Amino acid sequence: MTDMGMRSSPSVTRVTPWQASGFVSLLVPIVLLVLVGAITVAYWAGQANAGPREEEASCDAGAKRVTCTVEGDDSEKYSVGWQGGVDWINPSGDRREGRPACLRRGEDIDVVIGIVDVEHEAASWTEVMWVDCRR
């Protein structure tokens, strides 16, 4: 074989950095803004429905039922109640179950209660989770 005068030379490939077009440059901040907004709304909604909340209440204990009046966020009073036992905290800070000893029949007693709003199918109600008798 004879050399025909062809020489191989190394090929040079130029790599150019990627540059965003004007549309992409505008789209990225908008997507980030929408994403941050969605996360903020989801966090706020989760906090609003995060579970039990503590409320100050004035409770009246009857023979079988306890009814407590709670003043809501918008200064509107509403009642919650239960029959039977409930978790409660005694003045020493110990947790108990049953009828709270601080709720004596015929007396209005101020306590802190833990309540949660429950929604199920077409019904909704407020459930008392615990009573704190340390006041």
Per-residue pLDDT reduced to its tens digit, 16-29: 676 666 766 778 77
* Residue-level pLDDT at 28: 78
Residues 89 and 70 in one domain: yes
Structure tokens of 72?
């809501």
Residues 91 and 109 in one domain: yes
Question: Is residue 6, in this structure, part of any structural domain at all?
Answer: no
Residues 62 and 122 in one domain: yes
Q: Which domain holds residue 31?
A: 19-50
Q: How far apart are CA 130 and CA 134, in angstroms?
A: 12
* pTM exceeds 0.85, yes or no: no
Question: Is residue 81, in this structure, part of any structural domain at all?
Answer: yes
Residues 66 and 115 in one domain: yes
Query: If 0-12 CB within 10 Å is exposed, 13-18 middle and 19+ buried, where does residue 106 land?
Result: exposed
Residues 94 and 32 in one domain: no
| Residue 48: pLDDT band with limits 50, 70, 90 | low
Tokens 């909604």 found at: 45
* C-alpha separations of 77 from 15, 56, 69, 73, 133 in Å: 71, 11, 7, 9, 21
Residues 89 and 28 in one domain: no
Question: Is residue 12, in this structure, part of any structural domain at all?
Answer: no
Residues 63 and 127 in one domain: yes
Question: Is residue 7, in this structure, part of any structural domain at all?
Answer: no
| Residue 103: pLDDT band with limits 50, 70, 90 | very high
Residues 65 and 105 in one domain: yes
Number of domains, the chain: 2
